[in-house]
A = this chain, B = another copy of it.
Amino acid sequence: MGKNKKLVEAITSMDVDFAQWYTDIVKKAELVDYSSVKGCMIIRPYGYAIWENIQQDLDRRFKETGHENVYMPMFIPESLLQKEKDHVEGFAPEVAWVTHFGEEKLTEKLCVRPTSETLFCEHYSKIVQSYNDLPKLYNQWCSVVRCEKTTRPFLRTTEFLWQEGHTVHATAEESMEETKRMLNVYASFCEEFLAIPVVKGQKTEKEKFAGAEATFTIESLMHDGKALQTGTSHNFGDNFAKAFNIQYTDKNGKLQYVHETSWGMTTRLIGAVIMVHGDDNGLVLPPKVAPTQVVIVPVAQHKEGVLEKANELKEKIAKIARVKLDDKDKMPGWKFAEYEMKGVPVRLEIGPKDIENNQCVLVRRDTLEKTVVSLDNLEESVKELLLNIQVNMLEKARKNRDEHTYVAKNIEELKGIVENTPGFVKAMWCGDRACEDKIKEETGATSRCIPFEQEKHSEECVCCGKKAEKMVYWGRAY
């Protein structure tokens, strides 16, 4: 990499300043641009292409599990938002209020949806009558608005893109099943598609969603040792059903309340990909999510036959991967650096000597290893390499996560870890909100989740020393 480094304006090293490293990548890989609009970002073509790949794969998983897409209005009348008490308290302080259409003042102000539970509930109350109408398994792709003072591209912006699933079921068992099913869909997606390992668990009462009975979460660990909540799935029980009067007639002719769930994933996922896989040369994309999986860079492209051969290879590879040929009139070194910055999984170099020897060079982005392969079975070599990269990236991320997962027995230990070797901290908890608050105050760490896979590291709460039965993942978080 030494020789390429000189050719490009270097980005800040992540060890020097992680936040600046992140900002450098989102700008230099051309993922986003800032706009003059308060708290909002522009997602540029390369960033949006990543989002499109995420959408496509998630959407397929939703449809395979029986979900249908719908579209709800982007506005919510104030009175509708207020129907569920906890919910409005959770969101009202951060919503954008529309008060005028043109010059005309509205009789009731409208907020721009921060999330759409209330709209789905109102709709369900109209279309659900009998047990025959259940379940309804709806999802929506849209943008939502929650005002933020300090923003960071993908991680925290006033407007962001997401999907929100909203389902209604006949029984409490079914809504619990759905809540867990969708958490598992999210977890599989993160591991299989984004190569990001996750911890599955339940949020504490303090951290759960406004209006939910239970919130499940998947949590991932970033390169700087901070946690990122990657996706959440909420079981509302019949809370919203009662507030919105969503009832159905069961098989015995008796009126019953439905049970409801919601679950969402956002453009945050792109932030997670950057912070789990990126390095000091830029973005590193898992092949499955990469807009371009293979970039062909011709060497000495003005020499006879080079571009023809490069085009021929492009045609071949196009059958098995998303491939791009860069034949711009620039030095190869510049191109190498550019595609490393953009995290393209495989670079293929082909020059006159390679052609003579019926071979080409493949450079993998995740390890920067070079291999020389024959052109005879190029498709096979590329296919195998892409698979290999995808697997390797997950393993590497898992290893890193495990190496930065610690156990703390008392609050001093917890504090020490958070300050000196940030990562996930596993520690026992008595279940009291007071201890949760105290831990946050003293260490800056919040409860990330009560993992489904419990371990017993001691009998006592890490904070108060009283009897503890739950193990919790703690950490500083985005």
Q: Enumerate A121-170 residues with CB–CB distance to B below 8 Å.
A: 122-123, 126-127, 138, 142-143, 145, 147, 158-159, 161
- Residues A52 and B69 in contact, CB atoms below 8 Å apart: yes
| Known A101-B147, A102-B95: A122·B73 in contact at CB below 8 Å | no
Q: How large is the interface on A (under 10, 10 to 19, 20 to 34, 35 or more residues)?
A: 35 or more
| Known A76-B37, A110-B37, A110-B38: A71·B161 in contact at CB below 8 Å | yes
- Residues B123 and A42 in contact, CB atoms below 8 Å apart: yes
Shortest Cβ distance from residue A152 to the other chain B in the assembled complex, whole angstroms: 15
Return chain B residues, CB-CB under 8 Å to A127: 33
- Residues B42 and A71 in contact, CB atoms below 8 Å apart: yes
Shortest Cβ distance from residue A43 to the other chain B in the assembled complex, whole angstroms: 4
A1 interface contact, C-beta 8 A: no
A103 interface contact, C-beta 8 A: yes
A36 interface contact, C-beta 8 A: yes
CA distance A250 to B202 in the complex (A): 58
Shortest Cβ distance from residue A332 to the other chain B in the assembled complex, whole angstroms: 18
A357 interface contact, C-beta 8 A: no
Proximity bits, A62-82, B CB within 8 Å = 1, else 0: 000000111111111100100
- Residues B112 and A102 in contact, CB atoms below 8 Å apart: no
A96 interface contact, C-beta 8 A: yes
Shortest Cβ distance from residue A142 to the other chain B in the assembled complex, whole angstroms: 8
CA distance A362 to B102 in the complex (A): 53
| Known A93-B102, A145-B74: A36·B159 in contact at CB below 8 Å | no
Going nearest first, the 6 A-B pairs with the smallest beta carbon separation are A40-B73, A45-B68, A101-B147, A43-B71, A97-B100, A37-B73
Other A-B pairs, 19, CB within 8 Å; known A38-B106, A74-B112, A96-B98: A33-B127, A35-B73, A36-B122, A37-B119, A38-B75, A38-B101, A40-B73, A42-B73, A42-B119, A43-B71, A52-B69, A71-B143, A96-B100, A96-B110, A97-B101, A98-B99, A101-B147, A102-B147, A142-B143
